[in-house]
């Protein structure tokens, strides 16, 4: 069989082999058949008040995975740190039109959206440091918890095929701050589905009860359509019994809400934001990128009938 291999293969360095593999994965992504589009825009809230569970990382990489599957995706960065904006390579310095303008000043969403320069079919509403003061400024505003919902549903690309047409967003992903304040409340009122990343470690379920209690309160009083539809296990280390035990516990507790795909611990996933990229563009052949792509495919397959 060796006679069919390229002559240069034996001379390639490990770095050259890795580069070639990465390029082949990029080319494969461009030829990948698109996933079926949902009938109407699916609005996801990505939240977990416990920090360090891969919330923002999951938001941007699921968004990138969905866009590579032919979906039209909008990411709304609702975290004043602006980490999702950084990873998606959009400007988010003070003064840039952002989620702050939409929430506090009522600017229409279309005026604060920017296209992601690295990924087709992906748009972003960036977050600036101004958002840190939004919770205080919104305290005296009437119907303050519904500001984001009004902005999202006021956009002409949000809706079903009949009302929003072929240019509609298939997915809106809202990246929440790691707290249960007014910003997260706005997201919970605006969303229809929740995606909760859970770290496959001992404290995985710590604090989750408080989040689910908040969801129940929002469902009872402000947004009856909100549902926890998706649980994603992150930072999974298959070599440890602990990770397997946590995964089993989560699956027993949440059942079919848990995606079959778990995201492994990956240096590439952690490195990507420092280059203003998602792992999907930074190293598309890495285990982390392939896992996020498969998770995105699962989410898309669940939405075919919606």
What residues have CB less than 8 Å from 263, skipping those under 6 apart?
54, 58, 232, 233, 234, 235, 236, 269, 288, 291, 292, 295
Domains of the chain with bracketed CATH: 38-302 (3.40.50.300)
Helix orientation angle between 208-221 and 182-190, rounded to the nearest 10 degrees: 60
The whole-number mean pLDDT for each consecutive block of 10 residues of the chain, a chain of 306 residues, reads 45 51 50 84 93 91 97 97 96 94 95 95 96 90 93 96 94 94 95 94 80 93 96 91 90 93 93 94 94 97 69
**DSSP-assigned states of every residue in 60-77:** HHHHHHHHHTT--EEEEE
The token pair at 237 is 């280390």
The token pair at 199 is 């770290």
**How many angstroms from the chain centroid is the CA of residue 213?**
22
* pTM over the 0.85 mark: yes
**Residue-level pLDDT at 21:** 46
**Residue-level pLDDT at 169:** 98
**Residue-level pLDDT at 206:** 77
**Residue-level pLDDT at 3:** 42
| CA separation for the pair 116, 133 (Å, rounded) | 26
**Residue-level pLDDT at 10:** 53
Neighbours of 219 (CB within 10 A): 15
């Amino acid at each position: 069989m060796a006679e069919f291999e390229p002559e240069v293969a034996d001379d390639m360095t490990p770095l050259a082999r890795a580069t070639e593999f990465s390029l082949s994965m990029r080319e494969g992504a461009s030829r990948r058949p698109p996933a079926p589009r949902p009938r109407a825009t699916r609005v996801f809230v990505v939240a977990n008040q416990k920090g360090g569970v891969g919330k923002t990382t999951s938001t941007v990489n699921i968004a990138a995975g969905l866009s590579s599957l032919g979906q039209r995706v909008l990411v709304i960065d609702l975290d004043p740190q602006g980490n999702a904006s950084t990873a998606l390579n959009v400007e988010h310095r003070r003064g840039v039109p952002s989620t702050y303008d939409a929430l506090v000043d009522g600017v229409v969403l279309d005026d604060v959206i920017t296209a992601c320069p690295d990924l087709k079919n992906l748009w972003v509403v960036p977050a600036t440091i101004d958002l840190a003061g939004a919770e205080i400024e919104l305290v005296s505003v009437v119907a303050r918890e519904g500001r984001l919902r009004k902005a999202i549903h006021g956009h002409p690309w949000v809706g079903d095929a009949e009302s929003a047409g072929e240019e509609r967003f298939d997915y809106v992903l809202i990246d929440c701050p790691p707290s249960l304040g007014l910003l997260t409340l706005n997201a919970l009122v605006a969303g229809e589905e929740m995606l909760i990343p859970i770290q496959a470690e001992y404290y995985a379920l710590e604090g989750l009860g408080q989040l689910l209690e908040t969801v129940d309160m929002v469902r009872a009083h402000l947004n009856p359509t909100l549902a926890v539809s998706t649980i994603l296990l992150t930072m999974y280390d298959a070599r440890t019994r602990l990770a397997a035990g946590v995964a089993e516990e989560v699956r027993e507790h949440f059942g079919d809400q848990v995606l079959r795909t778990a995201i492994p611990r990956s240096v590439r996933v952690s490195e990507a934001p420092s280059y203003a990229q998602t792992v999907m563009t930074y190293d598309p052949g890495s285990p982390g990128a392939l896992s996020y792509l498969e998770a995105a495919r699962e989410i898309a397959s669940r939405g075919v009938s919606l």
